[in-house]
Amino acid sequence: MAPSILQLIDESRLRQVASRYELDLIVLFGSYAKGRAHDDSDVDLAVRTTRPDYGARGPEEEARWEMDLFADLGGAVAAPEGIDLVLLNRADSTLLFEVAREGAPLFQTDRDAFHRFRSLAARRFYDDAKHRRWGREELGRRLTRGPRPIRDGVPEAAHDVAASGRAGGGVAGWAGRLP
C-alpha cells in the first residue's frame, strides 16, 4: 500500500517553492487525489505561476526554470516513484478540467484561488467542447472514408484545389505549383 500523501509532503518546503517560483496554486491530482495510489504510483502535481514574464523568456531559460521547479518540488514531496508535473498556465482545457474536477489544493495563495481555477477550467472546457466534437466527427469521417489518394507525393485534395483555381496564398498556395 502506498504511503499517505500527507506523509510525503514537507509543507514548509512546499511553501518555499511556491514563493520562489511565484506559484499561486499547487494541486494534487491523479491516483493520490482519488485515494487509489499503490506502491508504484507517482505523485501528480499541477502548478500555476503568477510570474509576470512567464512564457516571455527564451525557450532555454523557460526550460531551465521548469527543471529547477521540478527539482525543488521533488525536494518538497518525497514521492518514492517521483512526481509528474503539469504547468496549468499552458495545459489544454481537457487537462485543466481533469485537474479541477479531481484535484485537491496543497497550496493556494488565498482560500479562493482553487475555486477560481475550477471556474476558469470549466468555462474553457465547455467553450472548447464544440471543437472536440468537430474533431471526433472529422476523425470518424476520415476513418470511414479511408486514406485519401496520393498523386505525385501530394494528397489528391491539393490537386483538386489547384485545378479549381482557388489556390492562392497561405497553405493552399503551394497547390497551384504542383506538377
107 forms beta bridges with 26
Instruction: State how far Cα 166 lies from the chain centre.
Output: 37
pLDDT tens readout for residues 84-103: 999 999 999 999 999 999 99
Which among 25, 17, 28, 8 is positioned nearest to 103, based on CA atoms? 28
For the purposes of burial, counting CB atoms within 10 Å of the CB of 138, is it exposed (0-12), middle (13-18) or buried (19 or more)?
Answer: exposed
pLDDT digits (tens, 9 = 90+) for 55-77: 898 999 999 999 999 999 999 99
| Coil, helix or strand at residue 67 | helix
- Looking at the chain, the whole-number percentage of residues with pLDDT higher than 90 is 54
Helix (H) or strand (E) run with residue 28 in it: strand 23-29
Triad 68, 37, 39: Cα angle to 5°? 85
Query: What are the backbone angles phi and psi of residue 51, rounded to the nearest 5°?
Result: -55, 120
What is the average per-residue pLDDT within 166-172? Answer: 50
pTM: 0.72
Q: Where are the domains of the chain?
A: 5-138
Tens of pLDDT, residues 21-42: 999 999 999 999 998 988 888 8
Contact 27, 47 (CB under 8 A): yes
Distance CA 34, CA 36 (A): 5
Per-residue pLDDT tens digits for 89-145 = 999 999 999 999 999 999 999 999 999 999 999 999 888 878 777 777 777 777 787
148 band by pLDDT with thresholds 50, 70 and 90: low
CA distance 51 to 21: 7
Amino acid making up residue 47: V
- The DSSP H or E segment spanning 15 is helix 11-20
Superfamily of domain 5-138: Beta Polymerase, domain 2 (3.30.460.10)
Pairing of β 150-151 and β 104-108: unpaired
